[in-house]
């Protein structure tokens, strides 16, 4: 047909759609957009129309319409809801469109299952509610038209129909670099034409796009842009397409490795990715959570239209820039020091794009010493002798302590596992118990079970009784504690007074009743995953130590410095490994100061 293009993926103005005939096949359900969806489209277009900061050629982009060319018409595989709604809007405004756009006429879609739907659409202005109730499709179309009418006529919306029509339909072509370019601030649609030879079964494509209503992603559209045959000379098309597709798959496979992915990506990012290469594209084109959904595709599409008329886009250069962007991250990942420094800054909330921009043009040592290390210093610098829980900087200090502990091993096969760290929520845990922290009634049974299991190897009452009977007669203190624990275990409810009594006795037994040092300074704090931390509440050092060892033996990630302190690796005097005293705390604090000496410029005097 006239105007048919072999391009698979292009942007088209709404005005351009008028010259096509559309066909809705039977495998698609009828029109079902709700009042909310119709109003959202109207509001989005009007909001764009009213903006006074639009740049030349900036447009509002609708989600893709996926089509297949069939003789004199296009089969709509996906996008019929948007297409029908656009028709209804134009139908409401047709008096204006005829004046402003010279009797422009948009032919309504033809439906395979309901051939009378086309007539209903053409005469929608005259239809009544009785007409609408002939079938469910008519009803939803009639309701949508009513929503459009009310929206325009609602004085509170303060709509200027002429401005709206211009935004919806205007085209303003200019010659730029030898090529005709639309510079109007208008509405456009991503036109994705499926090659008949590539897919004879439109139902398969429709199913993929509509299971869970998964829209085409930016990366899928960009891939289609890159691999269009029209980008290449015929002789090299297949080879170049295969090369790009293969390299694309290698990049995606690398990004699908969580160890790599969570080095460069934080889970709290509001934008989630199934195709992780899209993150690279978003970084290149500055997409944010406030950007429209197809921002990145639209920006890449501009790269394909800046060439002189008649010449294909410089695919080699476009693809090279994508690869170079990715390979920067790959280089950091493979460099032992850069991996840890960059990983810490990204976890601390520094934009990876900012870090990459700073790396450009710098020698590696300059980047490492004058940007990364100074950036880390800004994140943690404080008087470490004075900082106290719950200061948010403590978490960064403890994370850096763990990272630098790994880094100091100088073994390239031992790296801080950012992917494991970022897969958990983390708490700042008190090493010694907090005597002033109340254990609520619903946690008392759990606490009692932990203590009983620690002493006897089981929280079973019968086994605990047997263990108590086998104790030596002179072990009066432990026997008394076990008796209290068993009594609490047998009780339907553990009263606060009884619990306070047993808590104090256990606290005394574990020598945590006479600690005078401030328990909120960093010498009594460690990094621990929230699940483990909250599972034992306000427990004592040996209980926590036991749980840490159990987790480590099961392969559960325990930060290396957390494990070291509970194994008393930092303690200069190896006394009783089951108790944590003031000397242990001072030695632990000294270890932090020594490890972080290049990043703490105030405080940090070693304990004598």
Per-residue model confidence as pLDDT tens digits over 481-514:
899 899 888 887 888 888 888 888 888 888 887 6
Question: Residue 214 has which token pair?
Answer: 């998964």
Residue 412: predicted pLDDT: 60
What is the Cα–Cα distance from 20 to 251, expressed in whole angstroms? 39
Q: With bands split at pLDDT 50, 70 and 90, how would you rate the model's confidence at 1?
A: very low
Give yes or no: residues 321 and 440 share one domain: no
Q: Is 85 inside any structural domain?
A: yes
pLDDT score of 259: 97
User: Do 210 and 301 belong together in one domain?
Assistant: no
What per-residue string of b and e applies to 189-217 under the rule 16 or more CB within 10 Å gives b? bbbbbbeeeeeeebeebbeebeeeeeebb
Mean residue pLDDT of the chain comes to: 87
For residue 4, pLDDT beyond 50: no
What number is the average pLDDT over the span 32-59?
A: 94
In this structure, the answer to whether residues 316 and 437 fall within a common structural domain is: no
The band of 22, judged by pLDDT with boundaries at 50, 70 and 90, is very high
Does the pLDDT of residue 8 top 90, yes or no? no
DSSP H helices in 309-460: 315-334, 336-347, 352-359, 364-366, 373-380, 393-407, 418-421, 441-456
pLDDT, residue 320, reads 96
Name the band, by pLDDT with cuts 50, 70 and 90, for residue 195. confident
Tell me how far apart the alpha carbons of residues 162 and 176 are, in angstroms, rounded to a whole number: 28
The percent of residues in the chain predicted with pLDDT above 70, rounded, is 89
Specify whether 136 is located in the same domain as 15: yes
* C-alpha to C-alpha distances, 90 to 51, 86, 104, 147, nearest whole angstrom: 22, 6, 10, 13
Whether 103 maps to a domain, the answer reads: yes
| Domain match, 504 and 583 both | yes
In the predicted model, what is the mean pLDDT of residues 365-372?
97
pLDDT of residue 30: 85
Which residues constitute the domain of residue 244?
237-334
Residue recorded with tokens 């100061």: 593
287 shares a domain with 153 = no
Q: Is residue 389 part of a domain?
A: no
For 377-392, what is the mean pLDDT?
92
Kindly report, residue by residue over 413-434, the tens digit of the pLDDT: 789 999 999 999 998 988 887 6
State how beta strands 110-111 and 22-24 pair: parallel
Closest CA to 488 of 463, 452, 456: 452
Out of 334, 356, 373, pick the residue that ends a domain: 334
Give the domain-ending residue among 311, 334, 357: 334
Q: What are the tens digits of pLDDT across the range 545-561?
A: 988 999 999 999 999 99
Same domain, 259 and 164: no
Summarised one tens digit per residue, pLDDT across range 431-480 is: 887 655 677 777 888 888 888 888 898 888 888 888 888 888 778 899 88
Cβ atoms of 23 and 70 within 8 Å: the answer is yes
* Cis bond upstream, residue 519 (ω within 30): no
- What average pLDDT score do residues 385-406 get? 95
Helix or strand (DSSP H, E) at 269: none
Residue percentage of the chain with pLDDT more than 90:
53
Q: Is residue 576 part of a domain?
A: yes
For the entire predicted model, the pTM comes to: 0.79
Instruction: Decide if pLDDT at 516 tops 80.
Output: no
- Taking residues 303-308, report their average pLDDT: 67
Establish if 500 belongs to a structural domain. yes
Domains of the chain: total: 3
On whether both 203 and 273 belong to a single domain, the answer is no
Overall average pLDDT of the 238-267 stretch = 95
Encoded tokens for 446 = 């759990």
Instruction: Tell me the β-bridge partners of 589.
Output: none
Residue 274 pLDDT exceeds 50: yes
For the segment 521-528, the average pLDDT, to the nearest whole number, is: 93
Ranges 210-224, 292-306, 378-392: which has the least confidence: 210-224
For residues 159 and 205, the model is more confident at: 159
What secondary structure does DSSP assign to 490-548, as a single string? Answer: HSSS--HHHHHHHHHHHHHHTT-SS--S-TTBGGGEEEEEHHHHHHH-S--HHHHHHHH
Same domain, 252 and 148: no
Does some domain include residue 135?
Answer: yes
61: helix, coil or strand?
strand
Same domain (yes/no): 176, 321: no
Report the pLDDT averaged over residues 327-331. 98
Q: Are 194 and 58 contained in the same domain?
A: yes
Quick check: 357 pLDDT over 50?
A: yes
Which of 304, 334, 364 delimits the end of a domain? Answer: 334
Residue 280 has pLDDT above 60, yes or no: yes
Residue 6's pLDDT is 42
The size of the chain, in residues, is: 608
Residue 223 lies in a domain: no
Residue 104 sits in the same domain as residue 188: yes
pLDDT score of 36 more than 70: yes
pLDDT higher at 561 or 576: 561
**Are 521 and 387 contacting, i.e. CB atoms less than 8 angstroms apart?**
yes
């Amino acid at each position: 047909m006239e105007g048919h293009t072999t391009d698979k993926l292009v942007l088209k103005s709404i005005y351009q759609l008028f010259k096509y005939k559309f066909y809705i096949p039977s495998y698609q359900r009828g029109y079902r957009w709700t009042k909310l969806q119709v109003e959202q489209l109207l509001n989005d277009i009007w909001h764009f129309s009213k903006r006074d900061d639009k740049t030349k050629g900036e447009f509002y982009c609708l989600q893709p319409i996926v089509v297949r060319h069939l003789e004199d018409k296009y089969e709509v595989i996906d996008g019929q809801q948007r297409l029908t709604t656009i028709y209804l809007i134009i139908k409401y405004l047709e008096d204006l469109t005829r004046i402003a756009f010279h009797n422009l006429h948009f032919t309504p879609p033809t439906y395979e299952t309901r051939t009378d739907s086309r007539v209903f659409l053409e005469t929608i202005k005259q239809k009544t509610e009785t007409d609408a109730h002939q079938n469910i499709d008519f009803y939803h179309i009639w309701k949508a038209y009513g929503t459009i009418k009310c929206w325009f006529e609602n004085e509170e919306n303060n709509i200027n129909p002429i401005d709206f029509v211009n935004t919806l339909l205007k085209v303003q072509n200019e010659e730029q670099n030898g090529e005709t370019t639309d510079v109007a601030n208008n509405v456009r649609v991503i036109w994705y034409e499926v090659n008949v030879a590539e897919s004879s079964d439109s139902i398969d494509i429709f199913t993929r796009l509509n299971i869970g209503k998964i829209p085409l992603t930016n990366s899928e559209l960009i891939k289609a842009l890159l691999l269009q045959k029209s980008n290449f000379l015929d002789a090299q098309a297949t080879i170049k397409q295969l090369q790009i597709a293969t390299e694309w798959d290698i990049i995606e496979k690398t990004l699908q490795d969580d160890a790599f992915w969570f080095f460069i990506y934080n889970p709290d990012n509001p934008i989630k990715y199934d195709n992780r290469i899209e993150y690279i594209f978003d970084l290149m084109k500055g997409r944010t959570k406030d950007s429209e959904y197809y921002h990145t595709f639209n920006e890449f599409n501009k790269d394909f239209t800046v060439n002189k008329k008649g010449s294909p886009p410089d695919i080699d250069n476009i693809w090279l820039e994508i690869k170079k962007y990715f390979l920067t991250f790959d280089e950091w990942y493979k460099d032992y020091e850069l991996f840890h420094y960059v990983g810490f800054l990204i976890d601390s909330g520094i934009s990876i794009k900012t870090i990459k921009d700073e790396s450009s043009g710098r020698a590696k040592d300059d980047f490492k010493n004058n940007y990364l290390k100074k950036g880390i210093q800004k994140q943690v610098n404080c008087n470490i002798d004075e900082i106290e829980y719950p200061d948010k900087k403590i978490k960064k200090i403890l994370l850096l302590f763990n990272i630098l502990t790994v880094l100091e091993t100088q073994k390239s096969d031992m790296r801080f596992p950012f992917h494991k760290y970022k897969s958990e929520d983390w708490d700042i845990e008190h090493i010694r118990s907090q005597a002033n922290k109340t254990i609520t009634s619903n946690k008392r049974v759990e606490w009692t079970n932990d203590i009983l299991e620690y002493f006897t190897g089981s929280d079973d009452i019968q086994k605990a009784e047997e263990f108590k009977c086998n104790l030596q007669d002179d072990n009066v203190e432990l026997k008394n504690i076990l008796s209290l624990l068993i009594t609490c275990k047998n009780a339907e409810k553990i009263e606060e007074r009884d619990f306070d009594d047993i808590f104090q006795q256990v606290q005394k037994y574990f020598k945590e009743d006479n600690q005078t040092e401030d328990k909120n300074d960093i010498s009594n704090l460690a990094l621990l995953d929230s699940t483990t931390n909250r599972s034992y509440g306000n427990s004592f050092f040996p209980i926590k130590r036991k749980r840490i060892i159990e987790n480590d033996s099961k392969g559960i990630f325990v930060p290396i410095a957390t494990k070291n302190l509970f194994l008393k690796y930092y303690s200069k005097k190896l006394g009783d490994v089951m108790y944590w005293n003031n000397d242990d705390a001072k030695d632990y604090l000294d270890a932090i100061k020594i490890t972080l000496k290049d990043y703490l410029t105030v405080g940090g005097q070693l304990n004598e």
